[in-house]
Structure 1
């Protein structure tokens, strides 16, 4: 929701590159390559040169998807093992198959036609990429012509394409050792113990950028040290080669990271180092105090932005988290103060003075949403009541 100005000091970048890349990652990666067959070595080395690995770890946020394409379109066994939804992205299967009726004979014929077409597409993909998992899936799908069983199979395939399917340990064991051990090369836990706090200190966020609500301030006082989650925008479970990439690490609230986002691939979502909500009015305020001034009379809704940002707002439950009692209580007090002020000669004077806005109406329009909880809502609320166009600070 909130755009972050992402940067690290030159000193930090030099130390990070030397410690994480030069001393650990490159030697480990090159040692792994020597353990695989020559033909596989050639394919890995064609992509993962030392220069590419350095750039992979230090690239900007707008290059991340390009890195995913480069790696997964070249080393298909990695995408099949770690991100099946990317591997299957070109298979034509509409999610409506889940609700497809199968009672009538014509419907049963229709779902069998879909079934046969999908099997043919899977077989082509399997042959082209020498798939490990798909032959098992295809054999299972070919084993039935019963409409109800076909529907179950297509629903399972849809879950794979949607990113909700996890390979079983038995399936994982079929992949070469280098594929299964690939994620261990990019050891996030080891890195975060050394650099985690320094990363969150450097980015200097006090509020979760996904919801602009949850407190994530880093505490550095000795004995009370704490830092927020470092979310992998593209999750390391699906894109292990981005586990150490600085532009893929975002300080975030536990609720947004662990409850809402989890391991979603984030294709079609806005990266907060690239973009975020702007001066567009996001929040609407609906209330009627005819039956008393209380928070139950207040409803806060959000406008669609008609962009990929709407996916973020939905995923991180921004409307729900801005209908919390503490937010509604703040708006209730703001509305009360504003109405009292509107009956005096001080209204325009207050609205024209930033210090008065802060002390009287509790809206600091000079504060960044990276430092102030639900700051976008506060600015929108002030504009809603006053009819003015105050802008949110960077």
Structure 2
């Protein structure tokens, strides 16, 4: 994952504040509060002052977690409705329960013990937060004693805690109207029609920052206009109050956004405005050409970075996407060029490696290119270092 540094002009920010916050969001918020029950109005206003709304939309990426905690730890009804995994985050349930054996009596007793403890924990949580959904879950669980049914219930609860559970329409109707209508306040579609292209243009990104492997160039030529998806790092389906927050908008490729990331909450993952891949080696290359020089003999491996960024690398399938045929073909040609230089021009090789322009011309690695503008640039730098034994750095 590549770190990016968004910058917006004062003119853009002024127009964004006027159009998005002053003229739309705050009036809608004030109207919504009038429709909420009085007890809810007080709790909403404790958080959502005009100052807080303004800061919510314009805060930096490093503040996004704090905004989530502030809102969901105060307005529990919102977290239960939109981000059940956050609502249940303090429930102690080992995910291994889904594969727990229940053939022996000792196993059945064990899962019943877990079941009883979890029900007690859910009941405490429900009472503390005046839950709407949990009483229904607890009621179903309390009437179950058969081990196989208990396992099904705990598996369902694990799915909820993993973020893979979607409330059905019947459950949604149990929530107050203001809760169900809450996402309508933060109208992303209306905003993106006005500002979407400006946002992607300002990023000056040609390659998806999540994978460094998919073209996302914004085209502004009349009649051919196109721009990449603006991914919500914290998805708007689970964090609707971040739908308009500039630091939550990431230009990205369709594959990373719609296939890999989807609606994952992203809590605990690395935000590309905050951090990215460092200069240390990320890719390793295994190959033997005993049976011919072809891409089938090449295997690209991702090296564990021993940091939270490993979660991003796994989520966005970095190893798989860097084992695509076009990437392997590029590496095969690089290795061929390098071997030709060793065999035919060994005295000239060091001169080439000492000159960035010659490296670009003879080995097809442009060291000066940023990964924001060059496809799989990190792999290219690592491949050059792998073959040459040098220590070239990737340009920020």
TM-score band by shorter chain is over 0.9
Do residues 284 (structure 1) and 284 (structure 2) align?
Answer: yes
Q: Distance in 1 between matches of 2:155 and 2:289?
A: 48
| Cα offset, 1:241, TM superposition | 0.1
Measure the CA separation in 2 of the matches of 1:342 and 1:34.
76
* Unaligned segments of structure 2, at least 5 residues: none
Q: Can you list the C-alpha shifts for 1:283-325, whole angstroms capped at 9, x where unaligned?
A: 0011111111111111100100011111110110100100111
Indicate the residue corresponding to 1:196 in structure 2: 196
In the alignment, what sits opposite 2:348? 346
Distance 1:102 1:10 in 2: 63
Alignment of 1:47-58 (within 5 A): 47-58=47-58
Alpha-carbon shift at residue 215 of structure 1 (Å)? 0.2
Match in the other structure for 1:258: 258
Q: Report SS of the residue matched to 1:363.
A: coil
Shift of 1:218: 0.3
Q: Secondary structure at the match of 1:92?
A: coil
In structure 2, the partner of 1:324 is 324
Runs of 4+ in 1 over 3 A off after TM superposition: none
Deviations 1:125-178 (A, max 9, x none): 000100000000000001110000000000000000000000000000000000
TM value normalised by structure 2: 0.99
Q: Structure 1 CA distance, aligned partners of 2:37 and 2:158? A: 34
Describe the superposition over 1:184-218 as per-residue Cα deviations: whole angstroms up to 9, x where unpaired: 10000110011000000001100000000000000
Once residues 300 and 388 of structure 1 are traced to their aligned partners in structure 2, the CA distance between those partners, rounded to angstroms, is: 19
Task: Please report how far the alpha carbon of residue 36 of structure 1 lies from its aligned counterpart in structure 2 after TM superposition.
Answer: 1.3
Say yes or no: does 1:306 pair with 2:276.
Answer: no
Provide the residue aligned with 1:121 in structure 2: 121
The number of residues matched between the two structures is 394
Q: Which residue of 1 aligns with 2:72?
A: 72
Q: Does the residue aligned with 2:286 lie in a helix, a strand or coil?
A: strand
Counterpart for residue 164 of structure 2: 164
3-state SS of 1:250 partner: strand
List alignment gaps of at least 5 residues for structure 1: none
- State the match for 1:297 in structure 2: 297
Tell me the CA shift for residue 81 of structure 1: 0.2
Note the 1:74-223 alignment, pairs <5 A.
Answer: 74-223=74-223
- Tell me the distance in 1 between the aligned counterparts of 2:35 and 2:290: 75
How far apart are 1:224 and its partner, in Å? 0.3
CA distance in 2, matches of 1:267, 1:349: 48
